Amino acid sequence: MSPPGRPKGESPSAQREARPISPPGRPKGESPSAQREARPISPPGRPKGESPSAQREGSRVSQPLYTVAQLRAMEAAARSSLPAGTLMQRAGCAAAQHIHVTYGPQPRSILVLCGPGNNGGDGYVCANELRALGHRVRCLASAAPATDEAAVARAQWSGQTMSRLPTAADRHVADVVVDALFGIGLRRPVEGPHFEQLAWLRQQPAPVVALDVPSGLDADTGSWVGDVPGVCATSTVTFLGAKPGLYTGAGAEAAGRVLIDDLGASGWGVATDGRLNAPDQFAAVARPRPRNAHKGSHGNVAIVGGSAGMVGAALLAARAALRLGAGRVFVDCIGAPELRFDPVQPELMFRHRDAALLRSLQALVIGCGLGTSAEALAATQLALEQDCAVVLDADALNLIASAPQLERAARRPTRGVRICTPHPLEAARLLGSSVDEVQRDRVAAARRLAERLSSAIVLKGAGSVIAWPDGHYWINDTGSAALATAGTGDVLAGMLGALLAQGFGAAEAVLAAVWLHGRAADLHSADIGLVASEVAPLAVQALIRLRAAGGRGGDGST
């Protein structure tokens, strides 16, 4: 593979070294304890000059993702060394500070819904702190505390406690509503009075701040527990560490803006296989190119697809590959063999997938508008025999799902990396399951598929999941509903091909492509009106900003 630009001080021979296919571990020089640390709470409120859409943009620095079992272990370790109630006190105070800075400092009317567990205890502490800051605070509790710490917090609350929900006759309920009903431990569908509270919260026009996790959401999976819709928060202040369910599936919408506070317990961290995707995970891609770069330095990509009536899909992928820096881009449209020129992008070269072309490639992208004909099947079989990096998208995945010989070929070891980019329906076909099953636990589905196909998986959707065969995974939190339009997946496939061809490590190339693809929608700054052909130019803008910022985790935006 042709090399990317080498870092300052790196020797030419190091530049030519092939990068490992396995996913990156911790950054060079970072200690294991630093790798596990949860970052302190992000500053609440919108920075001066920041647009509302910028608040929803993806993470700039990666965070570890913890399951409920891992968080319980962290809680137990911290509680063994801290006075009783310390974590609850810290959690309630952190939430109160976020609310005060975001919605204050003038006094506000605030209603805190407190559940029976420790999440409710966090709510009582938050209410006390907000009251001390000058706000008008009431609590609502329909059940007595069920834990000792929650009972102590309730006893220390000296303000008004309501036992019923406000009625339609109550003209002004609150300026801010706090959801402290259920935390990470909810495992069965909410019912009875708590179900009524969730339904009421979903209808509130006031901002809703969730403590730890929006009530009703599975912290591990991002799906609603028992398929019962819960709280959709304006923001979520989550404790100890980030949870996968806040960033994917229903959680991507339900959590709103997520702020993380480790409660001073980062020293009790545990090892985890999951992380949020962010620019510090693909630092090599964010480095500027050397000035003496030329087209031969940045690899050759071929796009195979474009059956009759679907030529546009292959062209979208090819144009994106060219935009994202591939040295040369070849196109083989199996449904339009007569096509030899793209008037919109005359730099593209149209060639048949013969042996000479295949030998010259660093990356091959197959599936965009490919169809499922006999020729499409033969082309997919040929792609699976190549030793260069191969991106399998759309119909290539559908063919693998329906043809056992292709699935066997996909599982065979190869010197090049394979990347599969299914949407939920394609993932369901490959797994022999349903879309609902895939969406119920997107992380588990992506990890199963990565192991089954011995390939990296990009499970597309809200909070795309990137999974590796060894069990490591990332969740990407850039992007918006603006990407929910035809052809954006083809653009992502082309972007992947471009970065792989340039010689970046496989994991860095995949993480960068997915992050930049979503970031393009963030830069669009609306949830509608973005068409697929506009995505790659916006992604390039994002990459330019990253490189201008030196790849330090920001992209130069304000």
Q: What does the pLDDT look like over 261-302, one tens digit per residue? A: 999 987 676 899 999 999 999 999 999 999 999 999 899 999
Question: In angstroms, rounded to a whole number, what is the distance separating the alpha carbons of residues 423 and 293?
Answer: 36
**DSSP code of residue 349:** E
Question: What is the pLDDT, as a whole number, of residue 26?
Answer: 36
Read off the pLDDT band of 357 (50, 70, 90). Answer: very high
CB 241 within 8 A of CB 262: yes
Question: In angstroms, rounded to a whole number, what is the distance separating the alpha carbons of residues 138 and 109?
Answer: 8
Over range 241-266, report the average pLDDT.
Answer: 95
**Mean pLDDT across the chain:** 89
Select the more confidently predicted residue: 35 or 441: 441
Give the DSSP H or E segment for 525: none
pLDDT tens digit sequence for 511-536: 999 999 999 999 999 999 999 999 99
Q: What angle do CA 433, 434, 437 make, to 5 degrees?
A: 90
Read off the pLDDT band of 8 (50, 70, 90). Answer: very low
Question: What is the pLDDT, as a whole number, of residue 3?
Answer: 36
| Contacts (Cβ under 8 Å, ≥6 apart) of 509 | 282, 285, 389, 496, 499, 500, 502
- Phi-psi domain of 226 (left: phi exceeds 0; alpha: psi -120 through 50; beta: other): left
CB 492 within 8 A of CB 538: no
| Contacts (Cβ under 8 Å, ≥6 apart) of 55 | 46, 257
pLDDT of residue 440 exceeding 60, the answer is yes
Task: Give the residue carrying structure tokens 């697809």.
Answer: 305
**Low-confidence winner among 15-19, 197-201, 267-271 (lowest mean pLDDT):** 15-19
| Contacts (Cβ under 8 Å, ≥6 apart) of 416 | 386, 387, 388, 389, 390
pLDDT of residue 485 exceeding 60, the answer is yes
Read off the pLDDT band of 44 (50, 70, 90). Answer: very low
Farthest CA pair distance, the chain: 80
Task: Give the residue carrying structure tokens 């909070």.
Answer: 463
Question: What is the pLDDT, as a whole number, of residue 59?
Answer: 67
Question: What percent of the chain is modeled with pLDDT above 90?
Answer: 79
Read off the pLDDT band of 17 (50, 70, 90). Answer: very low
Q: What is the DSSP string of 219-270?
A: TTTSSBGGG------SEEEEESSB-GGGTSTTHHHHT-EEEEE-TT-GGG--
Read off the pLDDT band of 10 (50, 70, 90). Answer: very low
Question: In angstroms, rounded to a whole number, what is the distance separating the alpha carbons of residues 511 and 468?
Answer: 11
**DSSP code of residue 534:** G
Over range 115-140, report the average pLDDT.
Answer: 97
Amino acid identity of residue 145, one-letter, is P
Phi/psi for 334 (5° steps) reads -70, -20
Compute the radius of gyration of the chain from its Cα atoms: 25
| HSE of 275, CA atoms in CB hemisphere, 13 A | 26
SS3 510: helix
| Contacts (Cβ under 8 Å, ≥6 apart) of 291 | none
Question: What is the pLDDT, as a whole number, of residue 358?
Answer: 97
pLDDT of residue 2 exceeding 50, the answer is no
Over range 222-249, report the average pLDDT.
Answer: 96
Q: What letters, b where the CB count within 10 A reaches 16 and e where it falls short, cover 49-60? A: eeeeeeebbbbe
pTM value is 0.88
* Structure tokens belonging to residue 271: 């090892």
Q: What angle do CA 447, 449, 453 make, to 5 degrees?
A: 125
3-state percent helix, strand, coil for the chain, nearest multiple of 5? 40, 15, 45
pLDDT tens digit sequence for 145-198: 999 999 999 999 989 999 899 876 666 789 999 999 999 988 889 888 889 999
Read off the pLDDT band of 217 (50, 70, 90). Answer: very high
Question: What is the pLDDT, as a whole number, of residue 15?
Answer: 37
pLDDT of residue 409 exceeding 80, the answer is yes
